Amino acid sequence: MAEAQLYAKVSNKHRARSTSALLEPLLAKGFPAHIAQKALVATGQKTIEDAVKWLHSHCNDPSLDDPIPQEYALYLCPTGRLHSRLQDFWKESKRQCGKNRAHEVFPHITLCDFFTCEDQKVELLYDVLKRVGDSFSQSFPPSISLTLHASPSYLGFFIDDSQANVLKRFAAAFSSEVSALADCHVKPSLKQFHLTLAHRFYPHHQKTLEELAKCINPGEPCQWVAALYSRDMRFVYYQRLRALFQYKPQNIDELMISAGDLIYVDPAQQRDVSEGWVVGTSHRTGCRGFLPENYTERAHEADTWVKHREYVFDTASRSFPKEPNAKLNGEAHNLSTSRSVTNVLSLQNTALRRAVLVMRHGERVDQVFGKSWLQQCLTADGKYYRADLNFPSSLPRQKDSMKLFECDPPLSCCGIFQSRLIGEALLDQEVTVSYVYSSPALRCVQTAQHVLQGLKLNQKVRIRVEPGLFEWTKWEASRAIPNFMTVAELLEASYNIDTSYRAHFPLSSLVPSESYEDYVSRSSAVIKQITSACPSKGKGVILIVGHGSSLPSLTRALVGLPSRDSGDFAQMVRKIPSLGMCFCEEQKEENKWQMVNPPVKTLTHGANAAFDWRNTILEE
């Protein structure tokens, strides 16, 4: 329905041929006029080479002939040292408080909201921007006064009224001329002119964000630029992903991606997609298909925008140096002695005490070979043998039947390797682990053991088995709590278990098919009990090895975030890979925890299917 509305919106527009100097060479190469214009607009009408490259990349784009124009917006953007300080704030606020809505776009003041313009009339926008810019070049403010304003959901600089009025007249003049000449419906921004620093953040982050914002000197040398950007109107409400690695399709419905590619993903279309995969549309090629989610990372909305033209307001000759002052909600703050964001960071780091590293277990054997993996490894008389090199070389001894491993599967050999590799990476980063807690599931205990081996701490730090860390019991296929290996059995199998530890949640307290609310409550209680039980002196890391569900349920409770809806929770957990990690640091002066980047990178690898040489090589 949305696509039909877009087609109806543009189907009755008159299509006049442009005489652009860039268009003629493309027509001479045999490209149809409407497609050539589309390529020029998609690349910002910069060079013929860019347009030709775009056309070749989009040769299989099913929407190439679609008459859907781009959307355009006019922004006033800072450059120079002020821009650098704002980028420092962007980076540090994201590191300390996580991503908020402001991170999606670069620092800017909105002059005109997004509007559509036919491809063949885009050059008129450039002409109007140049003409209106020239007419305001002398009246444009030599400097723009910025006042810092804060609220529980917004942080940013407000523009002085007298200067904002000049900007509003400039925006109105641009809007009026474009509307008349290019037959566009352009609305100049009527709101209080502002430069957003943070938006839609959690209220408990407000104090930290304000402290970082006070380090920005708004009087830093700056040249302001009016810039015209475009975006693809079909994907306004989509998420953006960036490919980290190349992926070559194995099936016809999969998407070819190269490192750095940007992908549009509609969250509403992901519910029926297989675990670990997403369906998206490539920004580079326009093609659509499935791709492995762990080959990507989240990108920003503006990463897919195209910059067309800019008008630089040269105010250097009219500027006079003065002692800059910023104001927070009207209260003056002299910034001549203000600390940089980096200095604030260094001061905050000295206040950091403990840290918590929550980790999902490594690859489990049934993840590779299915729920019937044990049947593949048992002889007629019930003895275990290794049917594939990724099966463990042996299984720990249990006093009861080996059938118990079906509900409490061990790690695969790759899972063991993964765990040890993570431990070695933590050792390389000089991470000091002081305490280790593990879910009673065998795969978690094994992961903890091999991470400690990689850290060379397996003889120094013992594993505390905590049943309260077991995953949401509703997800247990057997609808019953598994019969986990006992501490005595784990010790007999040479696992370094802390026998003096008394669990906060005994096994008997785990209830089959518990409600989501009960699981969230259990997770919140156990993380608080664990952090309370570990001394606050020193800077050791508390390592918690649990399940995919452990990462959001433990860390969100620790940093004070509300729990997610159960449906969203399930969708999020399925995206967490083996050895996925979350890292939280404690702020001593506030006695609060904040989520930051883990000390090591993620572990990504591809699938490796079983190989039958006889049926493959000798097959006729």
In the chain, what are the domains?
Answer: 24-65 (1.10.8), 70-233 (3.90.1140.10), 237-303 (2.30.30.40), 355-364+410-596 (3.40.50.1240)
Q: Is the pLDDT of residue 611 over 90?
A: no
pLDDT at position 465: 97
Among the listed residues 108, 364, 547, 556, the single catalytic one is 547
Residue 279: what pLDDT?
A: 94
Weakest-pLDDT range from 142-146, 203-207, 359-363: 203-207
Per-residue pLDDT at 336 exceeds 90: no
Task: Examine the pLDDT at 350 and tell me if it is beyond 50.
Answer: no
| Residue 575 pLDDT greater than 90, yes or no | no
Q: How confident is the model at residue 489 (pLDDT cuts 50, 70, 90)?
A: very high
Average pLDDT over residues 322-342: 43
The pLDDT of residue 586 is: 87
Per DSSP, what are the bridge partners of residue 596? 583
Q: Which pLDDT does position 334 carry in this prediction?
A: 41
Rounded to an integer, what distance in angstroms lies between the CA atom of residue 521 and that of residue 212? 34
Give the tens place of pLDDT for each residue, 121-133. 999 999 999 999 9
Give the number of other Cβ atoms within 10 Å of residue 429's Cβ: 11
Q: Please, which residues have CB within 8 angstroms of residue 87's CB and are 6 or more apart in sequence?
A: 107
pTM of the model: 0.65
Give pLDDT, residue 9.
44
Identify the top-confidence range among 322-336, 449-463, 604-618: 449-463
pLDDT for res 537: 64
pLDDT band at 321; cut points 50, 70, 90: very low
361 is catalytic: yes
Residue 334, strand partner residues = 325
Contact predicate 291/263, CB 8 Å = yes
DSSP state of 584: E
Does residue 140 have a pLDDT over 70? yes
- Judged on CB neighbours under 10 Å (0-12, 13-18, 19+), 380 is exposed
Question: Are residues 394 and 412 in contact, defined by beta-carbon separation less than 8 angstroms?
Answer: no
Distance, CA of 420 to CA of 447 (rounded, Å): 8
pLDDT confidence of residue 590: 58
Report the percent of the chain where pLDDT is more than 70.
88
- Distance separating alpha carbons of residues 492 and 582, to the nearest angstrom: 32
- Indicate if the pLDDT at residue 105 is higher than 70: yes
pLDDT class for 175, splitting at 50, 70, 90? Answer: very high
Residue-averaged pLDDT of the chain: 87
Going by C-alpha positions, the residue among 166, 157, 156, 283 that lies closest to residue 230 is: 283
For position 96, what pLDDT does the model report? 84
Catalytic residue check, 83: no
Is 547 known to be catalytic?
A: yes
| Per-residue pLDDT, 610 | 73
For residue 134, CA distances in Å to 128, 142, 167, 265 come to 10, 15, 14, 41
State residue 620's pLDDT score.
60
Residues 210-250 pLDDT 10s: 999 999 999 888 999 999 999 999 999 999 999 988 999 98
Decide if pLDDT at 320 tops 60.
no
Q: Range with the lowest mean pLDDT among 116-130, 184-198, 274-288, 528-542?
A: 528-542
Q: How confident is the model at residue 333 (pLDDT cuts 50, 70, 90)?
A: very low
Choose, from 108, 309, 361, 420, the residue flagged as catalytic. Answer: 361
CA dist 529 and 506 (Å) reads 14
pLDDT attached to residue 307: 96
Examine the pLDDT at 487 and tell me if it is beyond 50: yes
Indicate if the alpha-carbon torsion angle 232, 237, 243, 248 is positive or negative: negative
Q: Would the pLDDT of 318 be above 70?
A: no
Q: What confidence tier does 402 reach under pLDDT thresholds 50, 70, 90? A: confident
pLDDT band at 326 (very low <50, low <70, confident <90, very high): very low
Q: Kindly state the average pLDDT of the residues 418-433.
A: 94
Q: Of the residues 240, 360, 364, 420, which is catalytic?
A: 360
Q: Quick one: pLDDT at residue 316?
A: 58
Instruction: Report which listed range, 326-335, 369-378, 547-556, is most confident.
Output: 547-556
Nearest to 298 by CA among 233, 243, 230, 360: 243
Q: Which residue has the higher pLDDT, 344 or 63?
A: 63
Closest by CA to 338, choosing from 157, 213, 222, is 213
* % of the chain residues with pLDDT over 90: 65
Please count the other Cβ atoms lying within 10 Å of the Cβ belonging to residue 66. Answer: 15
**Res 339 pLDDT > 50:** no
pLDDT of amino acid 616 = 66
Residue 568's pLDDT is: 82
Per-residue pLDDT at 327 exceeds 50: no
356-389: per-residue pLDDT in tens?
A: 999 999 999 998 888 889 989 988 888 899 999 9
Quickly tell me which residue has 């969203």 as its tokens.
Answer: 568
- Of the listed ranges 91-95, 320-324, 581-585, the one predicted with least confidence: 320-324
> Where on the phi/psi map is residue 531: left (φ > 0), alpha (ψ -120 to 50), or beta?
alpha
In angstroms, the CA 293 to CA 485 distance is 34
* Per-residue confidence (pLDDT) for residue 180, from 0 to 100: 93
Q: Is the pLDDT of residue 502 over 80?
A: yes
Confidence band (pLDDT; 50, 70, 90) for 560? confident
pLDDT at 543 over 60: yes
Q: What is the pLDDT of residue 324?
A: 39
Per-residue pLDDT reduced to its tens digit, 27-55 = 999 999 999 999 999 999 999 999 999 99
Residue 8 predicted with pLDDT over 70: no
